[in-house]
Amino acid sequence: MSSIFDYTLASAREALRARKVSAVELVDAHIEAIERLDGGLNSFITRTPEQARLAAKEADTLLAKGEGGSLCGLPIGIKDLFATEGVRTTAASKILGNFVPPYESTVTANLKRDGAISLGKLNLDEFAMGSTNLTSAFGGVENPWKRRDSDAKLVPGGSSGGSAAAVAAGLVLGATGTDTGGSIRQPAAFCGITGIKPTYGRCSRFGTIAFASSLDQAGPMARNLQDCAILLESMAGFDPKDSTSVNKPVPHYEAALGRGVKGLKVGIPKEYRIDGLPAEIEAIWQQGINWLKEAGAEVVDISLPHTKYGLPAYYIAALAEASSNLARYDGVRFGERVKGDSLDALYEATRAAGFGDEVKRRILLGTYVLSSGYYDAYYLRAQKVRTLLQRDFLKAYETVDVILAPTAPSGAFAWDEKPTDPVQVYLNDVFTVPASMAGVPALSIPAGLDSRGVPLGLQLIGRFFDEETLLAAGSVLEKAASFTHRPTIHAGVSA
Amino acid sequence: MSLDAKTVAKMARLARVGLSDEQVHTYQKEMQGIIGWVDQLNEVDVTDVPPMIGTGLAQPRLRDDQVTDGDCREKVLSNAPDREGPFYTVPKVVE
C-alpha cells in the first residue's frame, strides 16, 4: 500500500479490522486532504472534523476489541439533503442556511449505527434541482477531472455533485446521494465513480429533504461496486416512518457481485439511440455490449416505446411535487425570514430572497401545471404517460433480466459551457429519467475515458428490488473496463 | 399553449414568491419555452390509461393508535426565526 488514499471502502474495512491502520489515522488523513483540496473543489458545505475525530477514537476502541459494525471507522460524506441531528443541513439553499435539524434521517442513522464516520455535509444543486451542481447557494463544485488539453473547470454533474467530486478526489471513501431523475447516476458518470439508485422504497425517505416525493430515492456513491454494495446494505431497509418504504428483507449485496452473467438476458433499448448521440457514447455502449457477451450474457434488442416522453412527463411530475413540497419554506417555523408588513408580504419576501432562480422557476412551473384549468392537461396527462413508461419496463422484463444503456449523453462539460436554455440542461437526464419514473433500480459505473480524457459511464437498469442482478452484471462490466484512471485533483497526488 | 406575463405574475402570487417586473419577464420567456417543449405529451394516446399514483410496491398499512413521538417543544421551536415563549410569531393578521 503506497498511500492511505489507495484504500477503497472494502480494503480499508479489512485493514481496520486487521489493525494495519487505525480509524484515527484514516480519518485524520482524509480531514487533511479536505483541508488541502476542498478550498478549490468546494465539495463540502459543512465540515465536521471534531465530531469525526471523536468518533474515530471510539471506533478504534471497538475495533481493538474485535467489535464494531460493518462500517466501523470508515470516513464518508453525507449529501447535505439528509437531516443530521445537531449538524447544519442546508439543501444548498439560502432559505435553510442556518437550519440545524433536531432529528436524524433514517439513512444516516443506519450508517451511523453501523459505525460509519461522517466528515461533513456535501454540496449539491439547490434542493437537488439541477444536473450541474452550479445552482448551489454555496457556490458550484469543481469536478476533480480535467480535460487533457485544458485547465477549464468542469462540472461534476448533479444534483449529487459534491458527493461525486469528494469520492472521486479521494476526500471520502464513500458518500450518500439522492436520485430523483438521475442525480446519483449522472454525477457518478461525470466524476468516474460508481453510484446506485435503488428501487423506489428500498431506502427510507424519512429525514431526506423532499424535492419530488414520488421519485426521490437515496443511494450509495463510491469508487467501485463492492463499496456501493457495502453502503447500500447499511442504508436500505424498511422504515415505518416512511409510508412508501417497502417491507422486504435486505439481501447481503456483496454476495451478488461474483454471480456472473452466464445465461443472463441483457436488453438494448433501441429508443436510447437518440439523434445526435456522440460517437464516443455510442462506442462505449457497444463496448459494454461486447463485454457482457464475452462473459456469457445473451444480448437482446428491445423497445421502450415511450422513452421520448420520459423527460417532459418527468419535469411535469417533479415540478408539481416540488412546488407542493417547497410550500413549507415560509419563514415562520424554520429557515431564514425576511420581514414584511403582512403575512403575505413576509412569505413573498422570504421566498424571493431565500430561493435561487432554478428553484423559483420550478416552483412557478409546478404551480402552473397544478393550477385550476391546467391540472388535467398537464399533471394528470403526465401521470398517465408515467404509467406507460412503467409498462414499457415491465414488458421488457418479460424477456430480459437487465437493460444496458449509456448513463448520460455526454461527458462532463465546462462550467461556462452550461447551456442557457433550461430545456437543453434538462436533456442531460434523458437516459436516467425513465428508470426513475418507473421506480426501478439502476446503477452507473465508469467504463472509460473520452478522447479528451474525461470519464464516461454505463448504466444498468434492473427489475424492481433486483439490485443483486445489477451488481452481478455491473461487476462483469467493472472487471472488463478495469477503470483505474484517477482525476487530476486527487488526495493521493501531492502538489 | 401560451403563457403570458400576467399568468406568470399570478403563479408567483399563488406560490408566494415575490418577483420584480423584470423577473416576471425573464421567467415568462423560460417558462414558455419549457411548456412548449412538454406540449409534445399531447401526441401520446392516453385513452383508458390510469394515472400512476405510486409504484404500487408499498402496502398501505395500519398502526396502533398510540403516541410514539412528541413532548419535544423546544426541539420543534429550536429553528424558529422569531418566537415568543412557546409561540411562533407572525405579523398581525387580524386587525
Q: Which residue of B has its CA nearest to A374?
A: B1
The answer to whether position B26 is within a domain reads: yes
Task: Between B57 and A124, name the one with better pLDDT.
Answer: A124
Cβ pair A364:B53 closer than 8 A: no
* CA A168 to chain CA centroid, nearest Å: 13
Mutation target vs B (from A346, A362, A368, A378; most B CBs, 10 A cutoff): A368
Determine the pLDDT at residue B56: 82
The domain in which residue B26 lies consists of: 5-41
Check pLDDT > 60 for residue A173.
yes
Mean pLDDT confidence for A214-238: 98
DSSP state of A82: B
The answer to whether position A46 is within a domain reads: yes
The answer to whether position B9 is within a domain reads: yes
The answer to whether position B88 is within a domain reads: no
Concatenated DSSP letters of A313-357:
HHHHHHHHHHHHHGGG-SSSSSS-----SSHHHHHHHHHHHHS-H
CA distance A233 to A108: 13
CA distance B86 to B52: 42
Q: Which residues of B touch A332 (CB under 8 A)?
A: 80-81, 88, 90
**Cβ-nearest to A332 among B12, B75, B88:** B88
Name the region of B23 (left: φ>0; alpha: ψ -120 to 50; beta: rest): alpha
Q: Are the C-beta atoms of residues A70 and A234 closer than 8 Å to each other?
A: yes
Check pLDDT > 70 for residue A495.
no
Determine the pLDDT at residue A175: 98
Check pLDDT > 90 for residue A199.
yes
Query: In residues, how long is chain B?
Result: 95
**pLDDT tens for each residue of A9-27:** 999 999 999 999 999 999 9
ipTM for the assembly = 0.95
A183 is catalytic: yes
Domain total of chain B: 1
Cβ pair B15:A422 closer than 8 A: no
Q: Are the C-beta atoms of residues B24 and B3 closer than 8 Å to each other?
A: no
Closest-CA residue to A304 (of A200, A180, A440): A440
Cβ pair B78:A100 closer than 8 A: yes
Determine the pLDDT at residue A1: 46
Residue A202 CB neighbours (<10 A): 26
Name the region of B44 (left: φ>0; alpha: ψ -120 to 50; beta: rest): beta
Q: What is the mean pLDDT of chain A?
A: 96
- How far lies A271's CA from each of A98, A201, A274, A306, A444, in Å? 45, 27, 6, 8, 19
Q: Are the C-beta atoms of residues A404 and A282 closer than 8 Å to each other?
A: no
The answer to whether position B25 is within a domain reads: yes
The answer to whether position A92 is within a domain reads: yes
DSSP state of A429: G
A436 is catalytic: no
- Weakly modelled stretches of chain B, pLDDT under 50: none
Residue A409 C-alpha cell reads as 449523453
* Residues 6 or more apart in contact with residue A422 via CB below 8 angstroms: A358, A361, B30, B33, B34
Concatenated DSSP letters of A379-390:
IIHHHHHHHHHH
CATH number reported for the structural domain that contains residue A61 in this entry: 3.90.1300.10
- The alpha carbon of residue A413 is apart from the nearest alpha carbon of chain B, in Å, by 22
* CA B76 to chain CA centroid, nearest Å: 22
Strand order in the sheet with A194-197: A44-47, A117-122, A75-79, A174-179, A217-222, A194-197, A442-449, A455-461, A402-406, A265-269, A298-302
The answer to whether position A117 is within a domain reads: yes
The answer to whether position A314 is within a domain reads: no
The answer to whether position B36 is within a domain reads: yes
Q: Which of A118, A136, A159, A245 is catalytic?
A: A159
Q: Which long-range contacts (CB under 8 A, 24 or more apart) does A335-338 make?
A: A335/A95, A335/A96, A335/A97, A335/A98, A335/A99, A335/B79, A335/B81, A336/A94, A336/A95, A336/A96, A336/A97, A336/A98, A336/B81, A337/B81, A337/B82
Mean pLDDT confidence for A401-422: 93
The answer to whether position A469 is within a domain reads: no
Q: Are the C-beta atoms of residues A373 and B11 closer than 8 Å to each other?
A: no
Concatenated DSSP letters of A232-262:
HHHH----TT-TT----PPP-GGGGTT---T
Looking up cell 415540478 gives A319
Residue A206 C-alpha cell reads as 424519512
The domain in which residue A169 lies consists of: 8-264
Check pLDDT > 70 for residue A494.
no
CA distance A194 to A115: 22
Percent of chain A with pLDDT strictly greater than 90: 95
**pLDDT tens for each residue of A418-440:** 888 888 888 889 999 999 999 99
Total beta-carbon pairs less than 8 A apart between chain A and chain B: 162
Check pLDDT > 50 for residue A259.
yes
Torsion, Cα of A457, A460, A464, A467 (10° steps): -80
Torsion, Cα of A343, A346, A349, A352 (10° steps): -80
Domain total of chain A: 1
Q: Are the C-beta atoms of residues A407 and A429 closer than 8 Å to each other?
A: no
A360 is catalytic: no
Mean pLDDT confidence for A200-224: 97
CA distance A441 to B19: 39
φ, ψ for residue A337, nearest 5 deg: -115, 140
